[in-house]
Structures are given as structure tokens and as C-alpha cells.
Structure 1
Amino acid sequence: MTEPVSPFPFPIRSACPPGACVCEYDRVVADPQADHRPLALNRLQEQKLIERIERIESYEDLKHVQAVIHRNLGVALRIEPGPNEVRTVRGIIVVLEEKPGLCKKARQSIPAAVRRCLNERPEIAYALLDAHDLFGAP
């Protein structure tokens, strides 16, 4: 007996349990016009991405990882200073944009990995703040 052929050019993650997520997995799988890239982020790929984020060494490397996430998943990873005074990494906004097909767990675990990276390497957080002109001239 042969396995059914997947209509996707890449392996996709399995569906979340009913009621546990708001990713609209079934709708995305059924719609041939939908962007299917978020479905490629299975548990193994998510772990690899988190490991990659934890290995970030510089602000330029962080920007590169943001670009790779956008290119491969079609979602933006926003990392910017919050509207109030930034005293700790908690004052930096880290959000993985919502997109149909992207699991809620990934939208939580990826920003958490970025925060861990910024906590471990404060020089990246300082470069981020400087890039947003918080340390620049008034």
C-alpha cells in the first residue's frame, strides 16, 4: 500500500488538537490560494529555529534571522523598543506576527527565544536601541 501524495512541495506539520489553537490549520490546508509556508514550521523545524536564535551573536545576525523568518514563513518578527522607557529587555517589544497556519505555540516560543538571546547578550539589545535612535542625538 502506498502513502497518499502530499499536494505540498515540503513536509507540513500535523494539525493542532481541536480547540487548542487558533491557527486555522484546516482552512489553510484546504485553500489552494493560501500561503502554505507557515505549515512548514513543524516541531523539529521550530526547535532548529529556536536553537539558531539562541546562537545569534550580533545585531546584524539578528536582522538576518528576521529576514530568513520572513522569507521562509511569510511572517514578520518585530523587535523594537516599547513606547515607554526601556530599562530591561522586557521593555523591548518582540512579536511574531499572526498568520493563518502559524501555530500559537510558535508565536510564543520564538519571541521567548529572542528575549533569552537579548538577556544573554545585552550588546545586541543596546545595538537595537541605538538603531531606533534611543541613544542618538535628540
Structure 2
Amino acid sequence: MTIRQPCPPGACVCEREQLLETPGADQRILQLTRQEEKKLIDRLEDLKSLQDLERMQQLMYQQLGIRVHVAPGHTEVKSMRGIQIVIDDLPGLCRKTRQSIPAAIRRGMEKRPEIAYRLLDAHDLFRDG
């Protein structure tokens, strides 16, 4: 199994080394090499539908242990910035990856705004419209 190369010293707070040293720890996240991360980001930028996004969320959790929550923000949603994308804390998840996944999901939604509309529908924000 190929695992992700370490980040430069002081550049990240991913706790990769502690994860590797912890017996029985879930190390699936370390399978996300930089090459695999690029594939994941490309895939998230090319979302086809809300179901596709939900499937990707499911796969990221099953294969890597990454829990990504996507929901309308607490304030009025006027743009993709109003969509809240949160990743649960996960030892071994690189800081840059933690930032690039939500950014890729937003870019995917910007390409296909209907995904955001379906997300809003799913949360009953258009119910009275």
C-alpha cells in the first residue's frame, strides 16, 4: 500500500506521524496520496448532481474516513459561499486537503448551480417560494 508522503516540517498540522505510531488507528486517510488527491479534486469539480455529491461523500467516508457535511449556511444563501461545507477532524488529513475538498465542491456547484438548488430544496429553503 502506498501512503502519502509527509508534509514539510512545520507546514502542516495533520498529525501524520502520531497516526502512524498509534496501534490500531484508522490509517485509511494516508492512502490519499497527492496523485489520488488530484483525482479526487478533479472528480469533485465535475459533480453531475446532488446524488453524485452524496455518493462522493459516502465514498470519501468509506474509503478514506473523511466525513464531509454539505448544507445551506445559517444565514441567507446568495452564492456558493453561503453553502456550508465542513470536514470533521481527522488525524492524518493534510491541512491543504482540508481546504481543497470544500473548494472543489464549491467549484463543482458553480459549474452546475442546480446541485445547490437541489441542496436547498432538500433542506426545505424553497418550500414557501
Query: Which TM bucket (shorter chain)?
Result: over 0.9
Q: Is structure 2 residue 4 aligned with structure 1 residue 13? A: yes
State the distance in 2 between where 1:73 and 1:25 align: 14
Aligned 8 A contact 1:97 1:107 in 2? no
2:28 aligned residue? 37
Aligned 8 A contact 2:66 2:87 in 1? yes
The structure having more radius of gyration, on CA atoms, is 1
Long gaps (5+) in structure 2: none
State the Cα distance separating 1:21 from its structure 2 match.
0.6
Aligned 8 A contact 2:14 2:94 in 1? yes
State the distance in 1 between where 2:103 and 2:81 align: 11
The amino acid that maps onto 1:91 is: G
Runs of 4+ aligned structure 1 residues displaced above 6 Å come to: none
Q: Of 79, 101, 121, which residue of structure 1 is paired with 2:112?
A: 121
Secondary structure at 2:11 match in 1: coil
Secondary structure at 1:102 match in 2: coil
Higher relative contact order (CA 8 A, sep 6+): 2
Alignment of 1:1-138 (within 5 A): 10-137=1-128
Show CA shifts across 1:21-79 (max 9, x none): 11001100111211101111110010010111122111111100010001111121111
Long gaps (5+) in structure 1: 1-9
Scaled by the length of structure 1, the TM-score of the pair is 0.89
RMSD: 1.2
State the distance in 1 between where 2:63 and 2:128 align: 36
Aligned 8 A contact 2:47 2:109 in 1? no
